[in-house]
Amino acid sequence: MSELVLVEDAAGIRTIRFNRPEKKNALTRPMYTAAAEALESGDADPAIRVFIIAGAGGIFTAGNDLVDFMQAPPHVGGGETPPVEHFMRALLHAKKPVIAAVDGLAIGIGVTMLMHCDLVYASPRASFKTPFVDLALAPEYGSSQVMPRMFGHVIAADLLLLGSTWDADKAARHGLINDVADDVEALARASAANLAAKAPGSLRAAKELMRRPSEGIQDRITLEGGMFAELLRSEEFSEAATAFMERRKPDFSKFG
């Protein structure tokens, strides 16, 4: 892994940390590649249950490094997969829960990636901005679709058209983040530990269902029913049921 992206595994939690604080954790091609590989290898490792994405030095990320960006402007869908697309695809397709811990600046793709995480926490120092139009560019990685669905058109326009800066309270009020805490990483680790103790197969199923495109409600009920029936036959459910009857906490540590 790149020294500019630190990867730490502990108690089933993989923390992926952007580590370029002297440049406000601006992301380069090697950093995107390192972060993508950390997600992909963790998704394939049964010992890893949850991801946390964070930044070093009290900064999440100022977005793309413009010098690196201009040296090789990415063209998504234009042939060879650029590193930024590799990272966003790894994030979008991660089967395991991804938590973001945002301290300080989150700009551009630093905001876009949050919409593809499962839980997002921020410190009171956090600020959020998507200056694509200000830079004479277009929104990226589904943000033009996901933001209006999340916030409604007029609120999404505040970010995507005006390029307004949101503080943590405004981000929480509109549903971009889950909660605000002075020690944002402690909150993220507590949630990650909670998730890491749950049945991994059930977590993957719930995340897959939540991330699926909209469909007819009866189609969704049928799909859920099939997954529910499959999980009823699983060893994970057997452990959960046995633990309930024995009045103890279930132990899912042996399941991958």
Is the pLDDT confidence value at 41 over 80? Answer: yes
pLDDT in tens, 118-161: 999 999 999 999 999 998 988 888 899 999 999 999 999 999 99
Is the pLDDT confidence value at 66 over 80? Answer: no
Is the pLDDT confidence value at 77 over 70? Answer: no
Residue-wise DSSP of the chain:
--TTEEEEEETTEEEEEE--GGGTT-B-HHHHHHHHHHHHHHHH-TT--EEEEEESTT--B--B-HHHHHHS---TTSSSPPHHHHHHHHHHT-SS-EEEEE-SEEETHHHHGGGGSSEEEE-TT-EEE--TGGGT----TTHHHHHHHHH-HHHHHHHHTS-PPEEHHHHHHHTSSSEE-SSHHHHHHHHHHHHHTS-HHHHHHHHHHHHSPP--HHHHHHHHHHHHHHHHTSHHHHHHHHHHHTTS----TT--
Task: Delimit the domains of the chain by residue range.
Answer: 5-196, 200-245
Reported as a pLDDT band with limits 50, 70 and 90, residue 76 is low
Reported as a pLDDT band with limits 50, 70 and 90, residue 3 is very high
Is the pLDDT confidence value at 80 over 90? Answer: no
Reported as a pLDDT band with limits 50, 70 and 90, residue 75 is low
The mean of the pLDDT values for the chain is 93
pLDDT in tens, 154-168: 999 999 999 999 999
CATH topology of domain 5-196: 2-enoyl-CoA Hydratase; Chain A, domain 1 (3.90.226)
Is the pLDDT confidence value at 205 over 90? Answer: yes
Is the pLDDT confidence value at 203 over 80? Answer: yes
What average pLDDT does this structure show over 199-220? Answer: 93
Q: What is the pTM of this model?
A: 0.93
